């Protein structure tokens, strides 16, 4: 079978200096992390500290090297003004608990009070800044704001892969004023995702789900040049099925994307890429618990008033069999409405198949990562990305500003 050669990862993403490549002993380091954690509703109690835990290796490394660590992370979407519920104090407190040492916190991100706290740091100590998104200059990537942040430190380390697709002052702008390198989490993300695109173990299988084709156009287009097989499920499969002349009832269909999906199918045939669509689907009257639902083959007509809620068991078995043969699997997007049982069974089947696959298994961030975490499967994957939009854009071949700005080796 003819296979296109894999193009190299764009913009030399895998050739970036890391925290191991610079001397940080006794230096003040500005560390950008992604501690955008969820809280229990109506409280400041953190409901999932996974993102903080993911950043601990870099912080531990910097402390062991004798660096003074200034931690910077956004929290939520305050849209350029202070929001009491989105202050970083609870994050700083939880970080201190996890590190087993007091962590200082300052209710500003720049200014004299921040400078005072920064100058008081001793080697191995940690200071958490206030939410930079309280300042409109952060998302504007204002040079003056980036320069003021940079003035606090001598080295910049970016460990926030999940925010690397944003050209903000704390993710990209600061890198213009300080030696800028990747943290250990950033290094792992870029390395694993980069190898999927550049040097995958074959066969390379992509599993793509989610609600809309329009959300995945770029990644569909890019991966079609690289993969041996593409398995499509989720709500977006309805548009592919319509392109085949199938009736999908009241399922969400993007009429303006039907021709595109037909073109993608044609290209797959030309390139020898195996494109697998659902054979059977679970349909429901409403996408909510307790609603009437049943499994139907896709070659029969789905009645109006019923919509696709999940892939069916035959499809799950077919997809699982293909995954079992893979050298590398990359998965982005749930295969059904996994938040509403019983429409989580297709997603669960894929998670189980990947958990037992002997090849490299990579889960894109966002809702896909949330699904495997909730199903207790995350530790059975080779890598679960911490970046939702960032991992998707990386797989699309786009430049991530927060990575591109780092020093090359």
Is 96 noted as a catalytic residue in this protein?
A: no
Q: What share of the chain is helix, strand, coil (3-state, %, to 5)?
A: 40, 15, 45
The closest of 220, 219, 248 to 235, measured between CA atoms, is: 248
Classify residue 12 as left (phi > 0), alpha (psi -120 to 50) or beta: left
Collapse the DSSP code of 201 into the 3-class scheme (helix H, G, I; strand E, B; otherwise coil) and give the result: coil
Q: Choose the catalytic residue: 209, 333, 366, 397.
A: 366
Strands 229-232 and 280-284: unpaired
Q: Tell me the HSE value of 206 on the side-chain side, using a 13 A CA sphere.
A: 28
Strands 274-276 and 229-232: parallel
**Terminal-residue alpha carbon distance, the chain:** 37
Is 212 noted as a catalytic residue in this protein?
A: yes
Rounded distance between C-alpha atoms, residue 138 and residue 161, angstroms: 17
Are 149 and 88 a contacting pair, CB within 8 Å? no
DSSP one-letter string for 349-381: HHHHHHHH-SSEEEE-STHHHHHHHHTT-GGGS
Is 216 noted as a catalytic residue in this protein?
A: no
Task: Look up residue 13 and give its two tokens.
Answer: 């993403």
Q: Choose the catalytic residue: 76, 89, 389, 398.
A: 389
Q: Choose the catalytic residue: 16, 32, 51, 87.
A: 51
Q: Tell me the HSE value of 161 on the side-chain side, using a 13 A CA sphere.
A: 29
Q: Choose the catalytic residue: 212, 267, 286, 380.
A: 212
**Active-site annotation, residues:** 51, 212, 366, 389
């Amino acid at each position: 079978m003819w296979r296109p050669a894999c193009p190299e990862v764009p913009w030399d993403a895998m050739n970036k200096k890391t925290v191991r490549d610079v001397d940080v002993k006794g230096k003040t380091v500005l560390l950008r992390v992604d501690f955008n954690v969820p809280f229990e509703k109506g409280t400041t109690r953190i409901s999932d500290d996974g993102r903080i835990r993911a950043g601990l290796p870099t912080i531990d490394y910097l402390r062991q090297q004798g660096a003074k660590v200034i931690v910077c992370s956004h929290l939520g979407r305050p849209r350029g003004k202070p929001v009491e519920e989105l202050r970083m104090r609870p994050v700083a407190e939880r970080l201190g608990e996890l590190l087993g040492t007091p962590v200082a916190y300052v209710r500003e991100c720049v200014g004299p009070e921040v400078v005072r706290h920064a100058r008081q740091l001793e080697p191995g100590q940690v200071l958490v800044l206030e939410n930079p998104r309280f300042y409109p200059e952060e998302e504007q990537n204002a040079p003056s704001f980036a320069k003021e942040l940079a003035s606090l430190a001598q080295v910049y380390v970016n460990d926030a892969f999940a925010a690397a697709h944003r050209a903000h002052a704390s993710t990209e702008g600061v890198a213009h004023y300080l030696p800028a390198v990747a943290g250990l989490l950033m290094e792992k993300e870029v390395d694993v995702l980069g190898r999927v695109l550049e040097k995958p173990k074959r066969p390379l299988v992509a599993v793509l789900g989610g609600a809309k084709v329009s959300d995945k156009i770029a990644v569909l287009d890019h991966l079609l040049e690289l993969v041996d097989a593409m398995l499509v499920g989720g709500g977006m499969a309805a548009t592919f099925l319509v392109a085949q002349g199938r009736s999908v009832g009241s399922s969400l269909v993007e009429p303006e994307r039907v021709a595109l999906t037909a073109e993608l199918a044609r290209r797959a045939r030309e390139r020898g890429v195996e494109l697998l669509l659902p054979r059977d689907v679970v349909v429901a009257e409403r996408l909510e618990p307790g609603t009437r639902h049943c499994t139907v083959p896709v070659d029969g007509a789905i009645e109006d008033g019923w919509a696709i809620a999940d892939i069916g068991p035959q499809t799950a078995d077919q997809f699982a069999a293909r995954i079992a043969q893979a050298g590398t699997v990359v998965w982005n997007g749930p295969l059904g409405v996994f938040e509403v049982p019983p429409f989580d069974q297709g997603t669960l089947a894929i998670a189980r198949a990947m958990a037992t696959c002997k090849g490299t298994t990579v889960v894109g961030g966002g809702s896909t990562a949330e699904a495997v975490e909730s199903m207790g499967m995350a530790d059975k994957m080779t890598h679960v990305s911490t970046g939702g939009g960032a991992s998707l854009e990386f797989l699309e071949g786009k430049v991530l500003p927060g990575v591109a700005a780092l020093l090359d080796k």
